[in-house]
A and B are shown apart, each in its own frame.
Chain A
């Protein structure tokens, strides 16, 4: 390209600008497709490995078998029942843990004494590997629903507490001062300034805690369960049913992804002002 008249490059610019939007739209969809190449290839290789006998079914079933088993488990209602039991555990545990994490986070974030009294024990407990508490939980709660729910609740409470606490502490004192100057009371400032400014952190905490919730459930259900997805998986192990195990894992993964997607959606709506 040579430097010609002043007009020419400018005109070229215009042409490029009017043409680029559709092109960009196309190219923003292409990578999505290309990103599917290797996952699909892996599934195909997996299927081939199984068919050739390289992977015996007692080590890993083929994707096709897994699919068939999944459909069959779903149609007998077995999968649905397990699904309901497991999501209930996570749901109850999450509500309990979130209430504790949010409540303590707000108390420690808002009041000086709350911080003195609440933060040190929480910070100490946080360093405990909470999944290691399972033996104690079994001693305390038996082997029913309670130890699993307690484990989920515990896992949920910490990330929420930490993020809510730091969100409230991190409120911009200049904004608070501006509302003081406008005559806002402590409670009004809490509603209009402090809590909204802690929302982004709170949602980060929410996402982390939901991830931990599923992890806690999976671990809790491995140890002892007479129902739920974990029971399905453990039971299948005894009969070398690797297809059922994989179905259970896929459902776990789907549930984790679904809850994460929901939080992302909430984030997008609630944090539009940041975008």
Chain B
């Protein structure tokens, strides 16, 4: 399967009588960065949960080729584990992975080394021994990213991971995610409410509406991008989302 990392065909998800996803089709290529926009309640998180294997009560077909990682809007760190042990959680299945011939788990030093390396990628190596409650919101979110990345995923699912952060931290996180993505090249599906964020980061922007992908835009500008780079697409995406933008109209 050299072709696609994510392949979704005719995916339908119902909550009782109501179909939130209705025959949704989606393909994501290896290493592709896809942003998913959509109104609140349009089913973005629902789609992500299906891809993460958290919701199997669906009809249609959804296959992911390879390892999947998720980072949620809230960092969801286990408060009773020090930061590095939270990162080691990401090394599951089988309680760890093998580096050389050595089993890497949450008790041995090899596990710690792997965790600290992942933490230094999000510039938090010096917080390895901290308790999660002592972290700021942005730091906790970076730990959550490190936990997602430590398993070297083929698909990284991000559900509004920056939604709860202040504007400045958000900008720094954009840089970080772009940087990590370019270094590790997983496929990324980023759910966001922020159109500019999508236009800065993604190869492709999708708009989810009425239970399926209602619009799709390919972005070709070289990175790092400026906010002005896709000003034309911005207006159209906002239109798809039912918002008229004064700045561009």
Contact = CB atoms under 8 A, between A and B. Distances in A.
A273 interface: yes
Contact of B90 (A182, A188, A192, A196): A182
B79 A274 contact: yes
A181 B74 contact: no
Interface size class of A (residues with CB under 8 A): 20 to 34
A25 interface: no
B181 interface: no
Contacts of A178: 70, 72, 76
B54 interface: yes
A186 to B, nearest CB: 13
Contact of B72 (A174, A193, A197, A275): A174
Interface in A181-236: 181-184, 188, 192-193, 196-197, 199
A199 B78 CA distance: 13
Contacts of B70: 178, 181
A272 B129 CA distance: 13
A177 interface: yes
Contacts of A184: 92
Contacts of A199: 80
Interface in B118-145: 131-133
B89 A182 contact: yes
B239 interface: no
Given A174-B74, A196-B78, A181 B131 contact: no
Interface string B145-187: 0010001000000000000000000000000000000000000
B52 interface: yes
Interface in B64-115: 68-70, 72, 74, 76, 78-82, 89-90, 92-93, 95
Contacts, number: 48
B75 to A, nearest CB: 9
Contacts of B92: 182-184, 188
B53 interface: yes
Given A174-B72, A181-B70, A274 B52 contact: no
B76 A175 contact: yes
Q: Which of A175, A179, A182, A193 gathers most chain B CB within 10 Å?
A: A182
B133 A274 contact: yes
A133 interface: no
A242 to B, nearest CB: 50
Nearest to B75: A178
Given A179-B89, A183-B92, A184-B92, A273 B79 contact: yes
**How would you classify the secondary structure of chain A's contact residues: helix, strand, loop or mixed?**
helix
A181 B79 contact: no
Interface string A109-144: 000000000000000000000000000000000000
A273 B133 contact: yes
Contacts of B132: 273
Nearest to B147: A182
B160 to A, nearest CB: 14
A48 interface: no
B69 to A, nearest CB: 8
A183 B93 contact: yes
Nearest to A196: B80
B78 A192 contact: yes
A253 interface: no
A180 interface: yes
A196 B132 CA distance: 15
A180 B68 CA distance: 12
A174 B53 CA distance: 15
Nearest to A185: B93
A272 B72 contact: no
Contacts of A180: 53-54
Contacts of B80: 196-197, 199, 273
28 contacts: A174-B72, A174-B76, A177-B54, A177-B76, A178-B70, A179-B89, A180-B53, A181-B68, A181-B69, A182-B89, A182-B90, A183-B93, A188-B92, A188-B95, A192-B78, A192-B89, A193-B78, A196-B78, A196-B80, A197-B80, A199-B80, A272-B131, A273-B79, A273-B80, A273-B82, A273-B131, A273-B132, A274-B79
Interface of B: 52-54, 68-70, 72, 74, 76, 78-82, 89-90, 92-93, 95, 131-133, 147, 151
